[in-house]
Each structure stands twice: as C-alpha cells, then as structure tokens.
Structure 1
C-alpha cells in the first residue's frame, strides 16, 4: 500500500463492520461450505475463465459525441491510462482480473489514483480485503453516504476511500443495489456435488476401474485372520497396476465382483446436469462448456452470439457507465465524452459476411470506403472519403417526372 499512502486516509481501530460474509449469513447462505480460494471445480473454473477472457479482450475506448456523429477522442490524456492502467498490467490482464473478481466474490473494486484532478493509474483492490460502509447518518462525512474500507493484508492498516475514488463493479444479483452476491455462494451446494463426482471418478481409477466384490469362504474364520486375508486380497485386486490382470484366489475361497459401472450409478447424467446448472448461473451456453449433445453448427453460432448479447453485454454496460462516471470529469461529460467497449471484436462476422455488409453500406451511402477499410486494418485511399449511392435510385414523387423527361428525349 505504499503507493497509496499519500492519498488515502489511515483509519485506526476499525474493528466492527457489517461485512460481506455477515450479509450472506444474514440471508441464510452458509459461506463455509466451499473454500472460496480454491477453484477446483472444472466447470466453475471454465465459466470464470470464459467470462474473464471475453471481457479482457475488448478494448475500452474514449469517444466524443458531436452534433453529426461520434469520433474517437485520441487527443485526450485518458487514452494513455486505457492503454496501460498501471505499470504492472496490460488492459487485457486488468479487465479480465476485474471480471474474475466480480463473479468470484460478487464485487470488484478499482482504486483511482489521481494527481491534481487527473487520473494517473488504476489499481485493482483485492475484493476480500474491502468492506462497504453505508454511512446514512453522516458519521464519517456529510457529503458521502458510501465508503470503502480497505485492509492491507500485510500491514493490517485500514484505509478509508470515498465512493468517487473507487470504481465498484458488482454482479447483477443484488438485494440492495450496493453489494453484489457471489455466484460461488449461490452455487455452493452444486459445486460440492461436482467435487463429489470428481472424487467418485478418482476412486474408480485408484481401484482399477472396477468396484470391490464379495470374498466368500465356507467355514468359520476369526476376526484377525479375516482382516489379514482381506488386506492381502485387496492388495492383489486394487490399483491401476492390477487392472486387467489375472486374480489368484486361495483354495476354499471364491470371489464375486460387484460390477457397478458409471452408467449404473448415473454419474454421467448427474455430472452433466450439475455442469449445466453451474453454467446457467453464469449465463454460459452449453456449447461453450463443450456440451454439443443438442447443438448444430448453426445453433452453436447462434448461442455464441446470444452469449455476447444476453450475458456479456449486461456486464459491459455496467463497466461503461461506472468508468464514464468515475474517470471523466464533469467538464468532460459536459463535452459529451464517454467510454465504450469495441463490440465489433466479439460480434465480428466471417470475412464473406463482412464484405457483403460493407458493400451494402457503401453502395447505399451509409459508410465511406475508407471507413470500411479502417475496420479491416487497411490504409485509407485518397479518394475514399466520399459517400456513394446508386444513381438509378430516385424519389418516388419524381418517378412520373423522370418518365416524362425520357419521352421528351425520345
């Protein structure tokens, strides 16, 4: 926290607060059932990875609206921050980390470092080290009703930050509109089921992929001898090294295996159901977790587009609104500056479809050739800044007039 020490107020003896864990416990959600620091369940990890990478690969750009159009505000100093939020992170690492924290903890926090009113860097605060204080009685400051208390995990020092110095991104699931609910907590039971299923498979592998059986012996045998025989027989029958080998059975004994397969135990069905439930909580489509059982190429493409529209866009709208409000000054907002993600990166069609779209846009006077070339990364043409339209098109009211002119000429 050395880089923040000059700008944040050190708060001493803050020992009580209504923390995020307390809030969940008050709602009857037990947070101890899942270790929130271990992403051991593969479906849960896959969903987090997909969402984090999807947000991370989108460039955040500064635009300015004018009376006639919008333009990239490349001259604004904030572009340098967008290209490098801090000296340790690229934009991809920064935004993917924010998205990962937002879903895993329910809330993500970014401290805005400033110097004389200008943003100099953006720093991600560990979500598990930040508490949200709602000061509705003016205890800390009459001008601020929400404060963020950051506790340095190394030194134990606590820092008070006002709402306008922290960008707060939360999940869409919130009961008060201030604190987001973690997907992990909502899926604690389902994730535990997935982990139990993984343990089930591991047991199968350790035991040579077949279940234990019944060792039968006709006659009496004492307890000590029984345990010794059981251990010896288990050492010959269990383990990968004994899989597929011939099993010797002592004279007077018979062995009857219990052939319980994964199909009989409905493991595959239960595992698939749990995986789909976890993915659904994140808004992830089945094809994105490699479930193509009911998918075709066309439906998969449609699902991918639906993921960006239905799932990802809600998060991007929040990122844009919070970033615009916290990073831009009131003068910038009056000048109609705003921050937007480049959606074309995720909604980009195949080459043929793009070319057909450009052709229609250019032929109908919607875009110029240079605007289309810029989207494809080509250099502009000196004569490509004009709008074109088919001369055969005439207003409907002039059809009779044009026909009359043709008759006169003939």
Structure 2
C-alpha cells in the first residue's frame, strides 16, 4: 500500500516536517547539507556539533540529566510515598531495552532534547499490548502527521539494521499513544523549536571563525611578515618566491625553522593588529551567544574569564534551577502521559546529587535536622552511603522542648522501645561521644 493512500485512510491532514520554502524543516535542511547562514557557511547537524561550544553545551545538559536516576513513586493514604516497583515503568527505567542501559537511554533522550528541541522514543509492547521497553529514535528521522480528528501519527524512518529489528513489530505510522515525545519550547504543542535552527547565525559565525583560524594556522598562524627585495621582481619570480617561502615556512609543522635570506632580502615581522584582536573578541562573543542560547553558564564549558568562587556557585545554582529543572519536569510529565500513570503514581528524578553541597555544609545541615527531631540517624547514614544502625531509628528531642498537639496540649510520644529518646536507657545519641 502506498504511503499517500495509507495516509488518506488514516485521515492525515497536516504534515509537520517538510516546512516551506520560507521556513524549511530541520529534516529538509539536513538533506540539503544544512541551511546557509549569513556568514556564508552551511549549518548542518554534523557541522554544528563540530563547534566546541555547541558540543560542550549539549554534552553538559545530557550528562547532567543522565546521571539523575528516575524513580516511579506511589503515594500512600497517610501522605507518604513508596517506590512503585510493581509498575511496568519501573522495570523499563531499569532496563529500557536489551541493548541499552538506563544511562545510555537518558543520554540519547537528553542529547536530542538539548540539540534538536525534541526527544522521541517508541514504546515497545509485547503481543498482549503491555509496555516492555523504550527505543529512542533520532528526531531527524521522524515526520509527524496530524489527523482530521486531532490525533498525531509518527512516521519513523529506520536508519539502521538494529533499529529496524527493534521496531519490527511497530507500524510505519505510529500513533501518539505509543510514542514518548518531550518537546522543548513550542508554539503549536506538536513540534519543539530546534536550538540548531534558532542559533543558526551564531553557530555559522563560529564555524566561519574556525575555518578562518584553520587557514591562518596553515599559513603559519597569521600573515607573519613581509619579504622585501632590493630589486624589482617580475610576477613570475615573485610567485615562485612566495610559493617557495610558504612551502618551507608555512603551517605549524614548519614553525621555528631557520630562515636563510639571499640577495639582500629582508623580512619585516608583523605584529597583531587591531583586526586580529577584534577577531579574538568576536570568537569569545560567539561562544557566549551559543552558551546563552543553550542556557549553560560559561564556566561549565571551559570559559573561566572573570570567574570567582562566589559567582561560580551562584551560576551553577541558576543553571540547575533554570535549565535542568524545567527539562526534568517536562520529562516527568511525559512519562506520566505516555505510560498513562494512574492518580497517585508519578515519576521523579532524584535531584539530590545536583543539590548536594560540600561535605562540611551537608553535615552541618543534617546535624541541624537531627537535633531538631526532623531526621533519624539511619536516614542520615543512608544518605551518606552507610548501612543503617540497629539503634538508629529514633528521633532526637532537645530536653527543653515538648511535643504539643494542634490545640496546644502537651503530648507524650514513646517510641516502639518503650522509652523516650531522652530517657535513661534509650538509644544513644549519635552526636554524643561514646
């Protein structure tokens, strides 16, 4: 059955991929070798990822997201929660498919989200329709169709033999309930805006700057000087002299070689001009523009100019709050939608690794919580990676405080051992010396 005929049967009306001549899609741009920027260079996926600032920003976002462990939780009637280990999504997040670990899956999903603004994976099912896994697909191989009734269908081009094998039971037109799709910034709620497209001019300037730097390096890092001859040279002689000089002394491999001048020739070395200085400043500005577009602080991609300990800490915290947290919340919401989680069951990334302070600050905070009765010793030990203690499931209470109910009446709280933690014979206080 032809694709057009099949689309008509499914009522497909709008294709969210090819775009138009005024606003071509990313896939069409990639097929054409990348869209030309005003700088004159074509900006494709591969060319953009060769720009160190782009690669670093995408890598930072993807690796920071992938090191956070997602967990399926179930709320209990008393307001507490417990891991929902019996839910199929729990097993999928531990083993998404037979070829990928959880980290490799998250790296693929977060990389696509950071670079293309769309993170897409197919939900794998068994013959009974139960969810069994997730398989990430490249956003550039996906075409989204909108049906007359508002349903979305994803046409996925199989790029490799492995992908074709993993998706052998998946139809060519995948309905949206079988697709995990996290969108970045979007205007229509169907396709996320691609950072590559939005930052095309800045990335194009970066590519052009690197090409210019490479050409200058091939000529000895910069136009290093001028050869002066006491006689007037013909064009042929001047061309041969220039070619001979470039062959002997051009390029980084010939740097430092001894120069022999004949027939009264002189070499006048040229210093850095104001144009050279502006070129270096332009390269720094381009890196800042790219980092701004990805919302990644400069120190996280290796630019430490004007950085101090105080502003690095503040910038890192801002990166967590304004870049990573919105992304994680978008993924958590999509897990709930794609896997149709019931009320009271949700997915949450463990962000404690991001928010962990240095050892001294962390212990001071835990000590304050323990002394105020908000943290048990075993909770403290487990958080630091130690095994729980048999006597560690108790709360501390200062001697000069008492427990009161909502009406203000003093209440007596006795732990399972039968004695208050402040009474003789109770579990020892881990803060007190032995």
TM-score (normalised: structure 1): 0.83
For residue 107 of structure 1, report the CA deviation from its aligned partner.
Answer: 1.1
2:30 is the counterpart of 1:18: no
Bigger CA drift: 154-163 or 306-315? 154-163
Query: Retained in 1: the 8 A contact 2:18–2:25?
Result: no
2:158 is the counterpart of 1:161: no
Query: Retained in 1: the 8 A contact 2:16–2:143?
Result: yes
User: What are the residue-to-residue correspondences of 1:49-88 with 2, within 5 Å?
Assistant: 49-68=59-78, 69-88=80-99
Residues 12/354 of structure 1: CA separation in 2 closer, same or farther (3 Å cut):
same
For residue 110 of structure 1, report the CA deviation from its aligned partner.
Answer: 0.9
Residues 20/77 of structure 1: CA separation in 2 closer, same or farther (3 Å cut):
closer
Residues 24/147 of structure 1: CA separation in 2 closer, same or farther (3 Å cut):
farther
User: Aligned match of 2:53 in 37, 43, 51?
Assistant: 43
For residue 217 of structure 1, report the CA deviation from its aligned partner.
Answer: 4.2
Residues 61-115 of structure 1: per-residue CA shift (max 9 Å, x gap): 0111123212222343432211111111111110111011122222121111123
Query: Retained in 2: the 8 A contact 1:165–1:326?
Result: yes
User: Aligned match of 2:293 in 238, 256, 281?
Assistant: 281
User: Aligned match of 2:120 in 109, 119, 127?
Assistant: 109
Where does residue 89 of structure 1 map in the other structure? Answer: 100
Give the Cα–Cα distance (whole angstroms) in 1 for the partners of residues 363 and 277 of structure 2: 53
Residues 3-51 of structure 1: per-residue CA shift (max 9 Å, x gap): xxxxxx9957679963435169428997523121341100100001101
Residues 239/381 of structure 1: CA separation in 2 closer, same or farther (3 Å cut):
closer
Give the Cα–Cα distance (whole angstroms) in 2 for the partners of residues 26 and 205 of structure 1: 37
Give the Cα–Cα distance (whole angstroms) in 1 for the partners of residues 246 and 226 of structure 2: 11
Count of aligned pairs = 380
Where does residue 259 of structure 2 map in the other structure? Answer: 247
Residues 255-277 of structure 1: per-residue CA shift (max 9 Å, x gap): 43443469834232111111111
Secondary structure at the counterpart of residue 156 of structure 2: strand
Give the Cα–Cα distance (whole angstroms) in 2 for the partners of residues 212 and 371 of structure 1: 66
Secondary structure at the counterpart of residue 385 of structure 2: coil
Query: Retained in 1: the 8 A contact 2:62–2:114?
Result: no
RMSD: 3.1
Residues 90/339 of structure 1: CA separation in 2 closer, same or farther (3 Å cut):
same
2:312 is the counterpart of 1:304: no
Where does residue 283 of structure 2 map in the other structure? Answer: 271
User: Aligned match of 1:151 in 157, 168, 185?
Assistant: 157
Secondary structure at the counterpart of residue 26 of structure 1: coil
Give the Cα–Cα distance (whole angstroms) in 1 for the partners of residues 56 and 146 of structure 2: 34
Unaligned runs of 5+ in 1: 1-8, 139-143, 400-410
For residue 160 of structure 1, report the CA deviation from its aligned partner.
Answer: 0.9
User: Aligned match of 1:362 in 366, 370, 383?
Assistant: 370
Secondary structure at the counterpart of residue 353 of structure 1: helix
User: Aligned match of 1:389 in 379, 382, 397?
Assistant: 397
Residues 354/239 of structure 1: CA separation in 2 closer, same or farther (3 Å cut):
closer
Give the Cα–Cα distance (whole angstroms) in 2 for the partners of residues 370 and 226 of structure 1: 83
2:386 is the counterpart of 1:378: yes
Secondary structure at the counterpart of residue 266 of structure 1: helix
Give the Cα–Cα distance (whole angstroms) in 2 for the partners of residues 241 and 311 of structure 1: 43
Residues 217/227 of structure 1: CA separation in 2 closer, same or farther (3 Å cut):
same
Query: Retained in 2: the 8 A contact 1:81–1:121?
Result: yes
Residues 325-369 of structure 1: per-residue CA shift (max 9 Å, x gap): 21244xxx13x1111000102111222222222222222222322
Give the Cα–Cα distance (whole angstroms) in 1 for the partners of residues 390 and 315 of structure 2: 41
Where does residue 127 of structure 1 map in the other structure? Answer: 139
Give the Cα–Cα distance (whole angstroms) in 1 for the partners of residues 257 and 362 of structure 2: 60
Give the Cα–Cα distance (whole angstroms) in 2 for the partners of residues 10 and 62 of structure 1: 42
Residues 290/37 of structure 1: CA separation in 2 closer, same or farther (3 Å cut):
closer
Residues 317/177 of structure 1: CA separation in 2 closer, same or farther (3 Å cut):
same
Give the Cα–Cα distance (whole angstroms) in 2 for the partners of residues 249 and 125 of structure 1: 61
Unaligned runs of 5+ in 2: 8-12, 36-41, 410-434
Query: Retained in 2: the 8 A contact 1:210–1:259?
Result: no
